[in-house]
Amino acid sequence: MSKIRFASLTLIICIVVCLSQTSFSQVGAAEVGEVYIGGFPISIELLSDGPIVKSVTDDCFVDGRLKSGDVIKSVNGIKVGSRSDIVRLYNEDDINIPISLTVMRNNASVEIKTVPERDVCSGKLRLGFQTKDGISGLGTVTCYTADGKMYALGHPISDSDSTSDFVCRSGSVYKCDICGYQKPTTGKAGRLIGKCSENTPYATVTENSAFGLKGNVAVAETGEKYATLPRSEVKPGKASILTTIGGEPSFFDIEIVKAVRQNGASEKGLVIRVTDENLLRMTGGILQGMSGSPIIQDGRIAGALTHVLTNNPVRGYGVYIDWILK
């Protein structure tokens, strides 16, 4: 089973753009229980709350060992947010050696001391490890509101390189075009391939929640209003998803196989099966990047697509809209 998930900064789309935000003044309020439907793809850029260790190049650690997947939180007690912060502290003339690193490993704080080597040519201390500052990927907007709140993905973003939960320091999403896709193969999910279509952010990210990304839309816009369907009214049977395979978002038929009765917020409340012959012929089923595609039943938004079964890409899971908007 695979989340329709994210990889490191080198995969899918890699962009660096300054964040911007515009106030909301031209939009009328939607009725309570109504949202503007999404279904369009976004490129996502998130910065981690601390550099993520990709690899360790030098064995210079005297008290434990830095490991791939560690998230560096501080150097000698000083909080760091990026690799450049670490380099700056390492290059200070009065830095205390051994250097103490505080890292998050398996969601627990670990203290490590290191005696770094000096570069023969520059005389600067060598870090002895490679890091990255964030992750990027492709996903789908579920909905947005009249006051400029965006909801996307339906599940939290995780990083395959990190051993701890991904904590987002800041981030932006950009509208993008779907320029192709890879069909699933045995035991491996397929994926959408996209490219950024705009240079300015569609929204800034405020939270990487258990039920997807939340953010503030940069420029207020309107769309097609849909009422939300409470989870108590979602039932097994015919439904559809709104997603983008190429061009504009399109509706495709699905079946809600199971609607789990959940008293508390939880993922995978919906089990779905793709029944649309056109979608099956084009993509072979659910692809990574469709995460967040709204699920519609009886003309209302019931939830969002979140997972694909890697051994059966025709089937997947969804989450109730109740939890997304919570």
Rounded to an integer, the average pLDDT of 108-119 is 89
Q: What is the pLDDT of residue 3?
A: 54
274-297 pLDDT, tens digit per residue, is 999 999 999 999 999 999 999 999
- Kindly state the percentage of the chain with pLDDT values over 90: 69
Element (H, E) at 83: helix 83-90
Q: What is the pLDDT of residue 74?
A: 96
Chain centre distance of CA 310 = 19
Looking only at the bridges linking them, the beta strands covering 149-152 and 108-114 are unpaired
Rounded to an integer, the average pLDDT of 211-231 is 92
Which residues of the chain form CATH 2.30.42.10?
A: 58-127
Give residue 125's identity as a one-letter amino acid code.
L
Which residues of the chain form CATH 2.40.10.120?
A: 2-49+134-324
Angle CA(316)–CA(272)–CA(315) in degrees, nearest 5? 40
Rounded to an integer, the average pLDDT of 80-90 is 92
Rounded to an integer, the average pLDDT of 13-22 is 30
Contact partners, residue 248, CB within 8 Å, separation at least 6? none
Q: Following DSSP, what letter does each residue of 164-179 receive, concatenated?
A: S---EEEEEEEEEEEE
Contact partners, residue 311, CB within 8 Å, separation at least 6? 187
Is the confidence at residue 324, as pLDDT, over 80?
A: yes
Q: What is the pLDDT of residue 1?
A: 53
Give the closest residue to 293 by CA, choosing from 221, 256, 240.
240
More confident residue, 165 or 313: 313
Rounded to an integer, the average pLDDT of 9-26 is 30
Q: What is the pLDDT of residue 25?
A: 28
Rounded to an integer, the average pLDDT of 58-85 is 87
Residues 122 and 92: beta-carbon distance below 8 Å: no
Q: What is the pLDDT of residue 19?
A: 30
Give me the architecture of the 58-127 domain, per CATH: Roll (2.30)
The CATH number that domain 2-49+134-324 falls under is 2.40.10.120
Distance between CA atoms of residues 323 and 210, nearest Å: 9
Active site residues: 155, 276, 291
Q: What is the pLDDT of residue 187?
A: 87
Mean per-residue pLDDT over the chain, rounded: 87
Distance between CA atoms of residues 184 and 308, nearest Å: 10
